[in-house]
Amino acid sequence: MKKFTVTAGNAGPKVRSDCEITLELKERGGIEIDLTSKVKALYGDSITSLCREVLTFFKIRNARVTVTDSGALPFVIAARIEAAVRRLKDTDLEFLPELIKENMYSTTGDRFRFSRLYLPGNTPSMMLNAGLHSADGIILDLEDSVAPEKKDEARILVRNALRQVDFRGAERMVRINQGEAGLKDLQYVVSHNVNLILVPKCELPDHVKIVDSEISAIRKRTGIKYPVFLMPIIESALGIENSTDIARASENIVALAIGLEDFTADLGVPRTAEGKESLYARSRLVIAAKAAGVQPIDSVFSDVSDMEALRQNVMNSKALGFEGMGCIHPRQVAVINQGFAPDESEIEKSVKIVAAYEEARKRGDGVAAVGSKMIDQPVVLRAQKTISLARKLGRMPKDSSS
Amino acid sequence: MAVKTVINAAGRSVPLEINGKPVIPFKGVGKHRPVGGKYSPPIPVCSDFPDNGNKVVRSLEEALKLCGLRNGMTISTHHHLRDGDLINNSIFEIASAMGVKDLVWFPSASFPCNDPVIKYLDNGTINRIEGSMNGPLGRYVSDGKMKGTAVLRSHGGRVQAIQDGEVKIDIAVLAAPSADSFGNARGTGGNSSCGVIGYAKADSMYASKVIVITDNLVDMPCFPMEIEGNYVDYVVVVDKIGIPEKIVSGTTEITKSPDRLLIAELTASFLEKSGILKDGVTMQAGAGGTSLAIAVFVHQILKQKGWKSKFGFGGSTKYMVKMLEEGQMGYILDAQAFDLDAVKSVETNPNHVPYPVFNAYNYHSKGNLTSMMDIMILGATEVDLNFNGNVVTHSDGYLLHGIGGWQNCLHARNVILPLPLFRDRIPVIVDEVTTLCGPGELIDVIITERGIAINPLRKDLIKSIKGSGLPLKTIKELKDEAERICGKPKKAQFEDKIVAAIKWVDGTVIDVVRKIKTK
């Protein structure tokens, strides 16, 4: 027998910026709304009229709705009602809040991905200010941070967040689930101006290819023109062994990430701060990524209180060749951004190298030197890369060569 | 019967009479100039007191009876025992048992532990509270349940009202962590140490009768005394005046919220780049998580630059104490100690000096400490497009906080309000504040996570911050952004009944709070 009463969303003393909707279908009597909210005096009317609008949209005419609100914004309330409705009946309709103009941007394959901040996909309070912390990317996570029975409501919330939350120029990423669930996730996010999809637990090139072709199908169906990039995450021994092929599995791949919690579990060893147990895997992944011309991205650092240890970790990571790292707390962003960007002495040295090289070339001299050190072509190339990075980051004037 | 109201200089409709007594509408900042002398309490005669100096009586009840407790009296208390206070409620319990009615409670602040007085408001023992009220007490007032009209004053305004006789205290009941039998008392020592008891000083000097109540009777002289025995009528000794762990927080902690930390960082950066933060700076910041984080960031900057703050004015916390101990602050002048580190520092560090609010904030003093402060970090529940601030009501109209020292602190050189742009969907920047507590001309900078708005009156600040790369916006832009995210809130609905008066620092009425409209 079909259920007639369902609940979606979250309520409780610690819940903020969210609401819980209980929806009970009735035979008659119209829409009855029972609202509890600490912002009732200010937004009570706006909340009840939104409830009515969404229910009418889904052609529900008789129902009793109980809203327990803790300051949810309209896109959250709409997502929670839609989730409740979808638990009661199958529908192809989607109640889409406006796609704000601030979010109508695309990204490019070669942009920096030093920091990418994970946000649990079913926790609206963490989404609202996420864009303020200057992460290069924001990940709305549908995978590990969302409980299995909450996946359906998280998809709708993430879709609405992609349309409504201003992430202030961060690359807007979604981490989908594995397998079938992941393909379903795509239906909810691809056509809402998502910039990049993280594909978790990749072990075979096919894992990426399936996602890639599903995205293509959605693109064709919806007619979207902007690029949707892919970042496979490798989290097992088999994945590491296949990383070279995974990195080349689609031309939409722009980065390859490693997930060390699952990887060390797969090896059956504890994850240490020093990271000896994953040294080979990390180096292997860096080489696979670089060989394929994509960015190697390191795993998150889980001690959010120890910024000094994080700084050390970033230094090691950069030394191995990684070009970015995940963040699980906004306070990690600055440390990571700073760590992966070239520092003053690197920039200064690079400027000297390039200047010496230009000088030698003008003289028609094949050999350039800084001080007593000879510099050859690869050194010059790296220096040029550093300078262009520094310019893009605003650490050097754009048009001067020194 | 409708009360006669006028529009005051801040454009607010206020009554000419409160609790049956005439009041003066706000005239503008610094405009009110009372004439005549200060109020003086009845003149005592020393021979009425025991020759051996021993003023100890058996109980608080006996002391209250000896003071002649009767209907309609004004009873004052201080709030240094904060949420651990065990004395204030018992005064009204005794009065209620005696059948006394219509008392006016005049606390320097109240805390959640004082919620039981609602019982004595209900049964008529207390007519009204003239002081801050939080949480349930504020709600009680906003629902129109208190018999008299509440009067909210700043810490300095409270001293002003005592000194110019607007409030005549009949009996002051002053809890003291240490006292001797003559009535000399201080805020340190014993099991209930709260560091300082400066808020009680004016009460002790101006009340008709003064009771000191302690759980730590020491040999005379109780030194160094903050309250002098010459002013004290009776001393009462009890087992316990407070619950230590609720008197001060064991430890105050900086905020862990990444968004608040961002605001704190932005504030420190603003202080540095505007040139407000400099060698010899004087400053005050509160004990809220964001203020503490600002103190930490400011400390880092002082250290880096090799600068030193001449003095800080407390509310002291361990973060201020750290500045003092590590050499980035010369002195702490302290009106209240918020945590155990601060209490310990007052007890042991000669450069950490009790400094009663009496000297710091009072309108009738010959000068104002807060006007000498370079940096003042304050909060608010709302700020409006004219930079007016509200600290007592929320946007839903409920009275939920006291004024504290907020109004007094507005006289500092640079008043900076670090605030989130919205709290749980409620925008902090609004068209017009629900309740006006401080005029916008005194509020200089609003710092939110989404941008900084400088009061257009502060052309100097706007100029000094130019080209700093900080996210400057107009206050209107900030308001619009908040409404774009949250939606435009409806205004709170009130009935005509006035439930509380908000006094300005000079004793004039700047605004009122009205009863919440019930459908």
pTM score > 0.90 for this model? yes
> Residue A402 has what pLDDT?
39
CA atoms within 13 A on the CB side of A120: 14
The model's confidence at residue A401, banded by pLDDT at 50, 70 and 90, is very low
Which candidate from A39, A132, A133 shows the least CB-CB separation from B425?
A39
CA atoms within 13 A on the CB side of B439: 19
Contact (CB, 8 A) for B449 and B438: no
B300 touches chain A (CB under 8 A): no
* A-chain residues near B489 (CB < 8 A): 39, 42-43
In chain B, which residues have pLDDT < 50? none
A134-143, A237-246, B306-315: least confidently modelled range: B306-315
Q: Is B23 helix (H, G, I), strand (E, B) or coil?
A: coil
The DSSP line for A229-273 is EEEEEE-SHHHHHTHHHHHTS-TTB-EEEE-HHHHHHHHT----S
Closest CA to A138 of A116, A107, A168: A116
Cross-chain Cβ contact B425/A71 below 8 Å? yes
B231: Cβ–Cβ under 8 A, 6 or more apart, which residues?
B183, B204, B205, B210
Cross-chain Cβ contact B492/A128 below 8 Å? no
The DSSP line for B144-203 is T--SS-EEE--HHHHHHHHHTTSS--SEEEEEESEE-TT--EESSSSSS--S--GGGHHH
* B-chain residues near A71 (CB < 8 A): 423-426
> Residue A398 has what pLDDT?
57
Share of chain A above pLDDT 70, in %: 98
State the residue for tokens 């309070």: A125
Contact (CB, 8 A) for A383 and A396: no
Closest CA to A219 of A241, A197, A203: A197
Q: Is A159 helix (H, G, I), strand (E, B) or coil?
A: helix
**Inter-helix orientation angle A279-292/A307-320, to 10°:** 50
Cross-chain Cβ contact A41/B396 below 8 Å? yes
Contact (CB, 8 A) for A140 and A188: no
Closest CA to A166 of A97, A99, A228, A120: A99
d(CA B87, CA B60): 9
What backbone phi and psi angles, to 5 degrees, belong to B93? -65, -45
B470 touches chain A (CB under 8 A): no
d(CA A260, CA B11): 63
* pLDDT tens digits, A107-124: 999 888 999 999 999 999
Q: Name all domains of chain A by residue range, CATH numbers in brackets.
A: 5-88 (3.30.230), 101-340 (3.20.20.60), 344-392 (no CATH)
> Residue A171 has what pLDDT?
97
B396 touches chain A (CB under 8 A): yes
A49 touches chain B (CB under 8 A): no
B487 touches chain A (CB under 8 A): yes
Which candidate from B259, B396, B493 shows the least CB-CB separation from A129?
B259
A2 has pLDDT over 60: no
Cross-chain Cβ contact B485/A17 below 8 Å? no
Please provide the average confidence, as pLDDT, over all residues in chain A.
93
* pLDDT tens digits, A3-23: 689 999 999 999 999 999 999
DSSP summary character for residue B29? T
Which of B256, B424, B425 to mutate to probe the A interface, most A CBs <10 Å? Answer: B425
Contact (CB, 8 A) for B42 and B208: yes
Which of A16, A37, A38, A39 to mutate to probe the B interface, most B CBs <10 Å? Answer: A39
Cross-chain Cβ contact A42/B424 below 8 Å? no
CB atoms within 10 A of CB A46: 18
Which candidate from B258, B424, B485 shows the least CB-CB separation from A38?
B424
B322: Cβ–Cβ under 8 A, 6 or more apart, which residues?
B299
Cross-chain Cβ contact A73/B485 below 8 Å? yes
**Inter-helix orientation angle A74-88/A151-164, to 10°:** 150
To the nearest whole Å, the CA of A265 is away from the closest chain B CA by 30
d(CA B91, CA B85): 12
A309 touches chain B (CB under 8 A): no
- The alpha carbon of B28 is separated from its chain's Cα centroid by a whole number of angstroms, namely 21
* B-chain residues near A43 (CB < 8 A): 425, 486-487, 489-490
Contact (CB, 8 A) for B28 and B9: yes
Cross-chain Cβ contact A41/B492 below 8 Å? yes
Cross-chain Cβ contact A42/B450 below 8 Å? no
A16 touches chain B (CB under 8 A): yes
* pLDDT tens digits, A88-104: 989 999 999 999 999 99
A74 touches chain B (CB under 8 A): yes
d(CA A196, CA A176): 11
* pLDDT tens digits, A152-165: 999 999 999 999 99
Task: Break chain B into its structural domains and give their ranges.
Answer: 258-493
Return the CATH superfamily for domain B258-493: Glutaconate Coenzyme A-transferase (3.40.1080.10)
Contact (CB, 8 A) for B354 and B193: no
Closest CA to B499 of B519, B516, B476: B516
Q: Please give the torsion angle defined by the CA atoms of residues A364, A369, A374 and A377, in that order, rounded to the nearest 10 degrees.
A: -60
Contact (CB, 8 A) for B337 and B379: no
Closest CA to B257 of A149, A130, A301, A170: A130
Cross-chain Cβ contact B258/A329 below 8 Å? yes
DSSP summary character for residue B4? P
Cross-chain Cβ contact A330/B258 below 8 Å? yes
> Residue A383 has what pLDDT?
87
Q: Which amino acid is at B107?
A: P
A41 touches chain B (CB under 8 A): yes
Q: Which amino acid is at B356?
A: P
To the nearest whole Å, the CA of A340 is away from the closest chain B CA by 21
* A-chain residues near B485 (CB < 8 A): 73, 128
Cross-chain Cβ contact A74/B395 below 8 Å? no
> Residue A375 has what pLDDT?
83
d(CA A14, CA B121): 33
User: Which residue in chain B has the smallest CA separation from A37?
Assistant: B424
A330 touches chain B (CB under 8 A): yes
Computed from CA positions of residues B321, B327, B328, B334, in that sequence, does the dihedral angle turn out positive or negative?
Answer: positive
The DSSP line for B433-490 is -SS--B-GGG--EEEETTEEEE-TT-HHHHHHHTTS---B--HHHHHHHHHHHH-PPP
User: Which residue in chain A has the smallest CA separation from B396?
Assistant: A41
- H or E, element range at A83: helix A74-88
Cross-chain Cβ contact B262/A74 below 8 Å? no
Cross-chain Cβ contact B489/A43 below 8 Å? yes
Alpha helices in B274-369 (DSSP H): 289-305, 318-326, 340-348, 357-360
> Residue A3 has what pLDDT?
61
Size of interface A-B (CB pairs under 8 A): 61
A119 touches chain B (CB under 8 A): no
Cross-chain Cβ contact A71/B258 below 8 Å? no
ipTM computed for the complex: 0.88
- H or E, element range at B510: strand B509-516
Which candidate from A16, A43, A331 shows the least CB-CB separation from B261?
A331
A72 touches chain B (CB under 8 A): yes
